[in-house]
Amino acid sequence: MSENNKIGTYRFVAEPFHVDFTGRLTMGVLGNHLLNCAGFHATERGFGIATLNEDNYTWVLSRLAIELDEMPYQYEDFSIQTWVENVYRLFTDRNFAIINKDGKKIGYARSVWAMISLNTRKPADLLALHGGSIVDYVCDELCPIEKPSRIKVTSMEPASSLNARYSDIDINGHVNSIRYIEHILDLFPIELYKESRIRRFEMAYVAESYYGDELTFYKDYVGDGTYDVEVRKNGNEVVCRSKVIFVGK
């Protein structure tokens, strides 16, 4: 297979209710599109959720890191490319490029996925699946952004808290991966979004949370426009961590 055939390309438009007050696509919506592209690309190659579910397996997102020079503006066309960078026994790295209306690459993303058994909730051996054919899709396309980092939050003072409600919950009964992004973006005052934009956004998904869980958000400012965020449920257990790096416009 040529390297080009290993890359999936999907087209989008920045819809009016998907942009923020500056007219730029929100990070939550971009995250949603990235995860959809991962699904399309995997499905087209026989590794989609529907096929996996038949064998009682599913994909679980572990890490996501997005880095951008700019976000698409309202009504602008853009596209997302995705490909598999690595496959290990328990994890696979999937990368993305975000391409603007003029065909220019305006950002990249990295994601790390595991496959789990729906029966045991234990990780599956990716190299054993479909006779190891997943490695045929590994592609050496360039993704010039750093890998997801380790995030450590020290603040003991909650920045915010909420109870997970109807709109937060996905078909698996979990708070959905995109809602965490939206709740984290809402920790920052609008003034910050007026004078700066998010250059890099990272998520580390650690544990699931459920309807009614109290989610508490802890936030450290670590200098240079960088914030580390930790979300805990019901007082202690870590649900996810995030790093948000703002730069002046």
In terms of CB distance, is 73 or 91 closer to a second copy? Answer: 73
56 φ/ψ angles, rounded to the nearest 5 degrees: 65, 35
User: Do residues 172 and 119 touch, judged by C-beta distance below 8 A?
Assistant: no
Is residue 193 at the binding interface for a second copy, with CB under 8 A as the rule? yes
Exactly one of 9, 10, 22, 91 binds a second copy (CB under 8 A); that residue is: 22
- Tracing tokens 């914030």 back to the chain, one arrives at 227
Q: Which residues pair with 77 in a beta bridge?
A: 13
Helix (H, G, I), strand (E, B) or coil at 147: coil
Site for a second copy in 170-189 (CB under 8 A): 170-173, 176-178, 182, 185-186, 188-189
- Stretch binding a second copy (CB under 8 A), from 87-95, 136-144, 151-159, 166-174: 166-174
Is residue 203 at the binding interface for a second copy, with CB under 8 A as the rule? no
Q: What is d(CA 249, CA 246) in angstroms, rounded to the nearest whole number?
A: 9
User: Do residues 66 and 200 touch, judged by C-beta distance below 8 A?
Assistant: yes
Is residue 28 at the binding interface for a second copy, with CB under 8 A as the rule? yes
Helix (H) or strand (E) holding 53: helix 49-54
Helix (H, G, I), strand (E, B) or coil at 139: coil
Is residue 17 at the binding interface for a second copy, with CB under 8 A as the rule? yes
Closest-CA residue to 163 (of 175, 177, 148): 175
Site for a second copy in 75-104 (CB under 8 A): 75
Q: What angle do CA 227, 22, 16 make, to 5 degrees?
A: 115
Exactly one of 125, 211, 214, 237 binds a second copy (CB under 8 A); that residue is: 211
What's the closest the beta carbon of residue 59 comes to a second copy, in angstroms?
11
In terms of CB distance, is 147 or 194 closer to a second copy? Answer: 194
Binding site for a second copy (CB under 8 A): 15-17, 19-23, 26, 28, 32, 35-36, 39, 49-50, 74-75, 165-167, 169-173, 176-178, 182, 185-186, 188-190, 193, 211-212
